[in-house]
Amino acid sequence: MSTTSVQRGPLATDLHDSPAGVNNFCIVAATVNGSGSQTANNVLVRALFRMGIPVSGKNIFPSNIQGLPTWFHIRVSEAGYVGRRDSAEVVVALNKATSAQDIASVSPGGVLIYPTEWKLPEERTDITYYALPVQQMAKDSGANAELRPYVANMVYVGALAELLGIELDEIKQAISEHFGGKQKPIDLNFGVVLAAVEYTRQNITKRDPFRVQRSNKTAGKLLINGNSAGALGAIFGGVSVAAWYPITPSTSLVDALSDYAKELRVNKQTGERAYAIVQAEDELAAIGMIVGAGWMGARAMTATSGPGISLMTEFAGFAYFTDTPIVLWDIQRMGPSTGLPTRTSQGDILMAYYLGHGDTRHVLLLPSSMEECFAFGWQAFDLADRLQTPVFVMSDLDLGMNLWMSDAFAYPDKPFDRGKVLSAADLERLGGFKRYSDEDDGTGVGPRTLPGTDHPLAAYFVRGSGHNASAEYTEKPDEWQANLQRLRRKHDYARTLVPAPIVDDIAGAEVGIISYGSNDPAIREARDMLAAAGVKTSYLRLRALPTTPEFTRFAEQHDRLYVVENNFDGQMLHILQTELPTRAAQMRSVSLCDGLPLTAQWISRSIATLEQER
Amino acid sequence: MSAIQEPPASGLNLIGLSKNDYKGKASTLCKGCGHDSISARIISVAYDLSIRPSRLIKMSGIGCSSKTPAYFLNQSHGFNGLHGRMPSISTGALLANHTMAAVGISGDGDTGSIGLGQFKHMVRRNVPMVYIIENNGVYGLTKGQFSATADEGQKLKYAGLNELPAIDVCLEALVADCGFVARSFAGDPRQVEQLLKAAFSHNGTAVLDIISPCVSFNDHEDSTKSYAWGKAHEEIINEFSFIPARQEITVDYAEGESVDVTMHDGAIVRLRKLDGKHDPTDRYAAMRLLEDAHRSQELITGLIYLDESRQSLGEIEHLPATPLAQLSEEQLRPSKSALDKLMAEMM
Domain boundaries, chain B: 19-329
3-state secondary structure at position A106:
coil
Cis peptide before A477 (omega within 30 of 0): no
pLDDT at A402 (0 to 100): 96
- pLDDT tier at A544, thresholds 50, 70, 90: very high
* Record: contact B318-A272, CB cut-off 8 A: yes
Q: Which domain holds residue A74?
A: 24-203
Percent of chain A at pLDDT exceeding 70? 97
Give pLDDT tens digits for A439-459: 999 999 999 999 999 999 999
- Closest approach of chain A CAs to the CA of B333, in angstroms? 5
Cis peptide before B165 (omega within 30 of 0): no
> Which class does domain B19-329 fall in?
alpha beta
pLDDT at B261 (0 to 100): 47
pLDDT mean over A567-582: 98
Q: Which of B85, B331, B336 sits opposite A284 (nearest CB)?
A: B85
Do residue A474 and residue A551 come from a single domain? no
Give pLDDT tens digits for B131-156: 999 988 777 667 678 788 887 887 77
pLDDT mean over A581-587: 98
Residue B64 touches partner A, C-beta closer than 8 Å? no
* Record: contact B91-A278, CB cut-off 8 A: yes
Q: What is the CATH number of the domain that holds A383?
A: 3.40.50.970
Report yes or no: A416 and A345 within 8 Å, Cβ to Cβ. no
User: Which residue, among B68, B79, B94, B317, would best test binding to A if mutated, counting the most A CBs under 10 Å from its CB?
Assistant: B79
Quote the Cα angle for B338-B344-B347, to 5°.
Answer: 150
* Record: contact A459-B94, CB cut-off 8 A: no
State the pairing for strand pair A69-77/A55-60: antiparallel
Looking at A377, A407, A437, the residue that finishes a domain is A407
- Residues of B within 8 A of A459 (CB-CB) are 53-54, 74-78
CB atoms within 10 A of CB A36: 17
Most confident of A82-96, A313-327, B291-305: A313-327
Q: What is the CATH number of the domain that holds A599?
A: 3.40.50.920
Percent of chain A at pLDDT exceeding 90? 93
Residue partners of A419: CB distance under 8 A and separation at least 6: A325, A385, A386, A387, A388, A445, A448
Residue A5 lies in a domain: no
Q: pLDDT at residue A220 above 50?
A: yes
CA dihedral A336→A341→A343→A346, nearest 10 degrees, is: 40
Residue A600 lies in a domain: yes
User: Which residue, among A218, A263, A289, would best test binding to B if mutated, counting the most B CBs under 10 Å from its CB?
Assistant: A289
Do residue A233 and residue A378 come from a single domain? yes
Residue A285 touches partner B, C-beta closer than 8 Å? yes
Q: pLDDT at residue A603 above 70?
A: yes
* 240-279 in chain B: CB under 8 A from chain A: none
- Residues of A within 8 A of B97 (CB-CB) are 296-298, 451-452
- Side-chain-side CA neighbours of A337 within 13 Å: the count stands at 1
Question: How far apart, in Å, are the Cα atoms of B241 and each of A486, B5, B259?
Answer: 52, 12, 11
pLDDT mean over A45-53: 97
- Closest approach of chain A CAs to the CA of B46, in angstroms? 15
- pLDDT tier at A320, thresholds 50, 70, 90: very high
Q: What share of chain A is helix, strand, coil (3-state, %, to 5)?
A: 40, 20, 40
Give pLDDT tens digits for A250-300: 999 999 999 999 999 999 999 999 999 999 999 999 999 999 999 999 999
Question: How far apart, in Å, are the Cα atoms of B94 and each of A194, A240, A507, A542, B71?
Answer: 57, 12, 57, 38, 22
Do residue A544 and residue A602 come from a single domain? yes
Residue A414 lies in a domain: no
Which of these ranges, A540-544, B6-10, B299-303, has the smallest mean pLDDT? B6-10
- pLDDT tier at B160, thresholds 50, 70, 90: confident
Give pLDDT tens digits for B173-226: 999 999 999 998 888 888 899 999 999 999 999 999 998 877 766 666 666 676
Q: pLDDT at residue A343 above 90?
A: yes
Looking at A373, A407, A441, the residue that finishes a domain is A407
Q: pLDDT at residue A163 above 60?
A: yes
- The candidate with the shortest Cα–Cα distance to A609, out of A15, A2, A6, is A6
* Record: contact A296-B70, CB cut-off 8 A: no
- Residues of A within 8 A of B95 (CB-CB) are 241, 276, 278, 289, 292-293, 298
Instruction: Write the single-letter amino acid at A260.
Output: Y
Chain A's closest residue to B325, CA to CA, is A298
* Record: contact B326-A297, CB cut-off 8 A: yes
- pLDDT tier at A109, thresholds 50, 70, 90: very high
pLDDT at B157 (0 to 100): 73
**How far is A163 from A158, CA to CA, in rounded Å?**
9
ipTM of the complex: 0.95
Q: pLDDT at residue A11 above 90?
A: no
Do residue A428 and residue A401 come from a single domain? no
3-state secondary structure at position A199:
helix
Give pLDDT tens digits for B38-63: 999 999 999 999 999 999 999 999 98
User: Which residue, among B85, B103, B313, would best test binding to A if mutated, counting the most A CBs under 10 Å from its CB?
Assistant: B85
3-state secondary structure at position A290:
helix
Residue A156 lies in a domain: yes
Residue A363 touches partner B, C-beta closer than 8 Å? no
Q: Which of A295, A409, A463 sits opposite B339 (nearest CB)?
A: A409
Do residue A322 and residue A398 come from a single domain? yes
Q: pLDDT at residue B258 above 70?
A: no
User: Phi, psi at residue B163, to the nearest 5°?
Assistant: -105, 10
Residue A490 lies in a domain: yes
Q: pLDDT at residue B276 above 60?
A: no
CB atoms within 10 A of CB A559: 10
Average pLDDT, chain A: 95
- Residues of B within 8 A of A281 (CB-CB) are 117-118, 121
Residue A146 lies in a domain: yes
- pLDDT tier at A9, thresholds 50, 70, 90: very low
Q: Is the dihedral of CA A512, A380, A410, A246 positive or negative?
A: negative
pLDDT at A10 (0 to 100): 41
DSSP string of A428-496, one letter each residue = HHHT---TT--TTTSSS---B--TT--STT---EEESS-B-TTS-B---HHHHHHHHHHHHHHHHHHHT
User: Could you give the number of structural domains in chain A?
Assistant: 4
pLDDT at B253 (0 to 100): 31
- Residues of A within 8 A of B61 (CB-CB) are none
Q: Is the dihedral of CA A106, A112, A118, A123 positive or negative?
A: positive
Most confident of A3-12, A54-63, A358-367: A358-367
- The candidate with the shortest Cα–Cα distance to B134, out of B67, B88, B79, B76, is B67
Greater model confidence, B166 or B329: B329
Do residue A106 and residue A174 come from a single domain? yes
**How far is B53 from B73, CA to CA, in rounded Å?**
7
Do residue A368 and residue A438 come from a single domain? no
Looking at A379, A407, A435, the residue that finishes a domain is A407
Quote the Cα angle for B211-B217-B222, to 5°.
Answer: 65
Do residue A50 and residue A77 come from a single domain? yes
- pLDDT tier at B259, thresholds 50, 70, 90: very low
Report yes or no: B60 and B14 within 8 Å, Cβ to Cβ. no
Residue A9 lies in a domain: no
User: Which residue, among A236, A291, A296, would best test binding to B if mutated, counting the most B CBs under 10 Å from its CB?
Assistant: A296
pLDDT at A443 (0 to 100): 98
Q: pLDDT at residue A14 above 80?
A: no
- pLDDT tier at B234, thresholds 50, 70, 90: low
Residue A450 lies in a domain: yes
Between chain A and chain B, the number of residue pairs with CB atoms below 8 A apart is: 210
pLDDT mean over A589-597: 96
- The candidate with the shortest Cα–Cα distance to B206, out of B227, B185, B173, B181, is B181
Percent of chain B at pLDDT exceeding 70? 78
Residue A442, phi-psi category: left (phi > 0), alpha (psi -120 to 50), beta (remainder): left
Q: pLDDT at residue B249 above 50?
A: no
* Record: contact B324-A274, CB cut-off 8 A: yes
* Record: contact A293-B74, CB cut-off 8 A: no
pLDDT at B271 (0 to 100): 40
H or E stretch covering A277: strand A276-279
